[in-house]
């Protein structure tokens, strides 16, 4: 029984690990050609031109979902199922694309290698990880042998070993392919020499930048003709690789009624007596709470900030129950399950008045250590006078805090810092609060200044707090009422082929129309609307442009009435879709022409003087021929290209043409070019090793797969099903 239980846990752990690491499951299953619809709807998609039957894909998904559910003991939630679906698809892509490479070059793993991976002196790291004893954190040979002994005796063991072998084989094949590719990726000596020469060559420039904000947009308004001309000349910049949709929608939130709230409260009240009487608090909480993570554990008072009844909880006896209390959409019941004293978790409470050093530094403006000491002594004298007033009881602490404290964080709370743990305050402050007797009043110096401090208390008490949280349930009657409201709106909005949508929105009270960002077919949903995948599928598979869906989408927390307002086709985006982007670029070009008219002079100094408006000549040094940015400027490819071009022509002290950059317009002169020392043979060879190492990174299996994806014909049509 112990072995079977362990086997079940280990098998499930393997599946979780394989999912989490996006490791491929290479099990080729028998596929039954069920009829899931006509034509392409029988398939999940195409990979490298080969159709993937939906039945094969779905069987793999279900297999992983079952293993997740067996391990967790509860149904997989929608986000987990979504993750598994994507993981299985990615695994299929990897299997098909890399599998073709293995086949074409005859890569395979022998049975001897597989045995060595499990039983050999240099076991595969995954085997070691899988059979590591959690208590000793070391590899457990006995555990491995127990698993091996189960082979052929039960299906679960056979399934587990099939999975183990599939993973080991795929991992070794990936590594072997990667090694072969990396072996052919080497930088030449000449390439390394060229790199070393360009790294050694350094250019120093002077430049002037003219930010686009120097010219108001209103002075260079582009015409429609100018924008259309830019669009027609630059269509390559506006390519749309996938279709997109845009919708407008109204959300009707599912909010509980007053009756729903009262009904939930009654149900929660029934738990109070049982919660008080139970002796198995942890189990009772797990069975009854709606919280994703049950609340049950020791708390310091500082942990309960924000809970109105924190003081009552810390003053309670073991077994006392408080509540129910409503907190938004939930009710909570609190129980003090245990009390303990823990000196290692002490919290402290003080009040203080800060006489800060900064004010006195500003008065003295210290230039020497003597001046600094003078400023500190002035602050100390002020602290002494405040302390004397407090001790004479001529004024209250609260009065003096408001009048004299330089700490804005506590000025409005009487100077109090309550229930703070160790490590939160600077050390002298903490030491006073921790070690001085309760009621002590004195001054303490920290890096901030002098603190007049009074110790209010220390607390080593902790309570084990159990919390039951129950969500307020929306009744069927309330749900139906909200659905009816959404349906009535949908009927009105759909009139006149959807043209009545805006009018219907205007008639709603406090229910604003919203517009989605453009979304693609395989996106999880629309922005700001959780779990809205079904809206995406409708917009692509069912809706016509301008159509309003008559039946509201019933989502987890809302009903949504949607209208398809825009279809963005694959290819060059329509002018209207990129008009704002075009306007920005045309404005830049028009500003460039204005700058050209105003930039006059034979030197940068003359240009700066003639232009005025505070422009100055700046410098940028040590620009190498392998740079991708200009020091003191940033990433400006056009400027870099012009610098390298002029440097290669030897144009020193020549004013450059006016350059249109991303953030500004630039002119520059090259002041000097330092070619540096010719690289020696040993440096070139070291550089060759570095370049080869960088090249070999591209030989990793992941990089190979990404390269194959770009060339392969991949069509994902899973959207027909979910």
Identify whether the C-beta of residue 324 lies closer than 8 Å to the C-beta of residue 268.
yes
Is residue 129 very low, low, confident or very high in pLDDT (cuts 50, 70, 90)?
confident
Q: Report residue 215 as tokens.
A: 């010219």
Give the pLDDT score at 23. Answer: 32
Q: Which residue pairs from 134-138 have beta carbons closer than 8 angstroms and sit at least 24 positions apart in sequence?
A: none
Q: What percent of the chain has pLDDT over 90?
A: 56
- Per the listing, tokens 């009657």 go with 477
**pLDDT over 70 (residue 178):** yes
Q: Which of 67-71, 220-224, 419-423, 711-715 has the lowest mean pLDDT?
A: 67-71
How far is it, in rounded angstroms, from Cα 353 to Cα 452? Answer: 5
Q: Which two tokens stand for residue 533?
A: 């995948």
pLDDT in tens, 515-531: 999 999 989 899 889 88
pLDDT of residue 366 exceeding 70, the answer is no
- Nearest Cα neighbor of 113 from 102, 104, 124 is 124
Question: Tens of pLDDT along 239-291?
Answer: 988 899 999 999 999 999 999 999 999 999 999 999 999 999 999 999 999 99
**Tell me, what's the pLDDT at 64?**
87
Residue 715: cis peptide before it, omega within 30 degrees of 0: no
Burial string for 524-547 (b: 16+ CB within 10 Å, else e) reads: ebbeebeebbebbbbbbeebeeeb
What is the value of pTM for the model shown? Answer: 0.63
What is the spatial distance between Cα 479 and Cα 415, in angstroms, rounded to a whole number?
50
| pLDDT, tens only, 662-681 | 999 999 999 999 988 888 99
Q: Please report which confidence band the pLDDT of residue 700 belongs to, taking 50, 70 and 90 as the band edges.
A: confident
Does pLDDT of 419 surpass 70?
Answer: yes
Confidence of residue 41 (pLDDT cuts 50, 70, 90): low
pLDDT digits (tens, 9 = 90+) for 86-124: 999 999 999 899 988 999 999 988 888 888 888 888 888
Per-residue pLDDT for 192 more than 70? yes
pLDDT band at 37 (very low <50, low <70, confident <90, very high): very low
Answer for the pair 352, 415: CB distance below 8 angstroms, yes or no: yes
pLDDT band of residue 163 (cuts 50, 70, 90) is confident
In this prediction, residue 698 carries a pLDDT of 82
**403 to 53, 123, 359, 400, 430: CA distances (angstroms):** 78, 73, 15, 5, 24
The three-state DSSP-derived secondary structure of 375-437 is HHHHHHHHHHHHHHHHHHCCCCHHHHHHHHCCCCCCHHHCCEEEEEECCCCCHHHHHHHHHCC
CA pseudo-torsion sign 164, 165, 171, 175: positive
Q: How far is CA 129 from CA 118, 123, 132, 546, in A?
A: 12, 10, 5, 56
Average pLDDT for residues 379-386, to the nearest whole number? 94
- Given the DSSP bridges, would you call strands 461-471 and 514-515 parallel, antiparallel or unpaired? unpaired
Q: What is the pLDDT of residues 549-591, one digit of tens each?
A: 999 999 989 999 999 999 988 899 889 889 999 999 999 999 9
Cβ–Cβ under 8 Å, residues 238 and 579? no
Residues of the chain with pLDDT > 70, as a percent, come to 94
> Residue 150: its pLDDT value, please?
84
Q: What confidence score (pLDDT) does residue 12 get?
A: 37
Mean pLDDT of the chain: 88
- What mean pLDDT do residues 371-376 have? 84
- The DSSP annotation for 84-131 comes to HHHHHHHHHHHHHHHHHHHHHHT----HHHHHHHHHSSS--HHHHHHT
Q: Print the SS3 string covering 566-626.
A: EEECCEECCHHHHHHHHHHHHHHHHHHHHHHHHCCCCCHHHHHHHHCCCCCCEEEEEEECC
Average pLDDT over residues 595-611: 94
Within 13 Å, how many C-alpha atoms sit on residue 465's CB side? 24
Q: Is 716 exposed, middle or buried (0-12, 13-18, 19+ CB in 10 A)?
A: middle
Give dist(CA 217, CA 588) in Å, integer: 9
Q: How many residues does the chain have?
A: 722
Closest CA to 622 of 246, 203, 77, 313: 203
Please tell me the predicted confidence (pLDDT) of residue 79: 81
Q: What is the pLDDT of residue 484?
A: 97
629 touches 646 (CB < 8 A): no
Q: Which of 241, 224, 228, 226 is nearest to 573 (CA)?
A: 241
Q: What structural domains and CATH numbers belong to the chain?
A: 2-183 (no CATH), 202-238+578-674 (no CATH), 242-255+475-569 (3.10.50), 257-473 (3.10.50.40)
């Amino acid at each position: 029984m112990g072995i079977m239980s362990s086997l079940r846990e280990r098998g499930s752990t393997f599946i979780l690990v394989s999912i989490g690491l996006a490791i491929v499951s290479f099990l080729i299953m028998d596929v039954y050609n069920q009829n899931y619809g006509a034509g392409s709807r029988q398939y999940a998609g195409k990979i490298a031109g080969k159709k993937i039957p939906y039945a094969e894909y779905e069987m793999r998904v279900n297999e992983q979902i079952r293993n997740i559910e067996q391990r967790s003991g509860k149904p997989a939630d929608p986000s987990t199922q979504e993750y598994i679906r994507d993981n299985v698809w990615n695994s299929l892509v990897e299997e098909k694309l890399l599998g073709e490479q293995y086949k074409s070059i005859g890569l395979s793993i022998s049975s001897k290698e597989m045995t060595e991976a499990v039983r050999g002196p240099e076991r595969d790291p995954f085997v070691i990880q899988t059979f590591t004893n959690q208590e000793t954190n070391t590899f457990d040979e006995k555990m491995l042998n127990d698993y091996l002994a189960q082979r052929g005796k039960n299906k679960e063991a056979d399934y587990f070993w099939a999975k183990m072998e599939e993973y080991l084989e795929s991992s070794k094949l990936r590594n072997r392919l990667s090694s072969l590719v990396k072996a052919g990726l080497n930088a030449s000596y000449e390439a390394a020499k060229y790199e070393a020469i360009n790294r050694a060559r350094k250019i120093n420039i002077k430049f002037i930048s003219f930010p686009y904000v120097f010219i108001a947009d209103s002075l260079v308004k582009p015409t429609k003709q100018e924008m259309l001309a830019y669009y027609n000349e630059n269509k390559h910049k506006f390519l749309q690789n996938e279709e997109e949709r845009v919708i407008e929608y109204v959300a009707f939130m599912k909010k509980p009624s007053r009756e729903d709230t009262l009904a939930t409260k009654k149900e929660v009240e029934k738990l109070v007596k049982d919660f008080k009487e139970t002796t198995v608090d942890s189990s009772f909480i797990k069975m009854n709470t709606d919280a994703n993570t049950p609340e049950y554990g020791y708390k310091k008072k500082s942990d309960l900030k924000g809970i109105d009844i924190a003081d009552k909880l810390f003053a309670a006896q073991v077994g006392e129950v408080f509540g129910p209390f409503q907190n938004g959409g939930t009710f909570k019941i609190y129980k003090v399950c245990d009390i303990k004293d823990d000196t290692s978790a002490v919290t402290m409470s003080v009040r203080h008045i800060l006489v800060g050093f900064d004010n006195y530094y500003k008065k003295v403006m210290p230039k020497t250590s003597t001046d600094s000491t003078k400023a500190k002594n002035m602050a100390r004298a002020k602290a002494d006078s405040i302390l004397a007033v407090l001790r004479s009881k001529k004024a209250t602490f609260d009065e003096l805090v408001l009048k004299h404290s330089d700490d804005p964080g506590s000025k409005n709370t009487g100077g109090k810092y309550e229930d703070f743990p160790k490590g939160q305050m600077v050390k002298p402050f903490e030491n006073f609060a921790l070690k001085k007797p309760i009621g002590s009043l004195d001054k303490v110096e920290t890096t901030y200044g002098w603190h007049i401090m009074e110790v209010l208390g220390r607390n080593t008490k902790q309570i084990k707090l159990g919390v039951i949280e129950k969500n307020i349930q929306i009744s069927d009657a309330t749900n139906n009422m909200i659905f009816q409201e959404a349906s009535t709106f949908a009927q009105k909005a759909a009139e006149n082929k959807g043209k009545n949508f805006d009018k219907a929105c205007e008639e709603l009270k406090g229910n604003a129309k919203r517009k989605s960002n453009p979304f693609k077919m395989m996106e999880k949903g629309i922005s700001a609307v959780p779990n809205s995948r079904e809206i995406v599928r409708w917009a692509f598979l069912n809706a016509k442009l301008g159509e309003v869906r008559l039946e509201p989408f019933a989502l987890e927390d809302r009903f949504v009435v949607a209208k398809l307002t825009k279809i963005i086709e694959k290819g060059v985006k329509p002018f209207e879709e990129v008009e704002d982007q075009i306007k920005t670029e045309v404005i830049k070009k028009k500003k460039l022409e204005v700058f050209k008219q105003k930039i006059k002079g034979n030197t940068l100094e003359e240009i700066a003087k003639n232009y005025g408006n505070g422009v100055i000549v700046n410098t940028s040094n040590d620009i190498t021929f392998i740079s991708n940015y200009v020091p003191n400027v940033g990433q400006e490819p056009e400027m870099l290209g012009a610098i390298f071009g002029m440097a290669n022509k030897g144009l020193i002290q020549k004013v450059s043409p006016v350059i249109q950059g991303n953030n500004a317009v630039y002119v520059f002169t090259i002041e000097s070019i330092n070619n540096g020392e010719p690289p020696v043979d040993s440096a070139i060879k070291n550089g060759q090793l570095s370049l080869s190492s960088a090249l070999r990174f591209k030989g990793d299996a992941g990089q190979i797969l990404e390269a194959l994806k770009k060339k392969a014909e991949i069509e994902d049509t899973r959207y027909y099903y979910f």
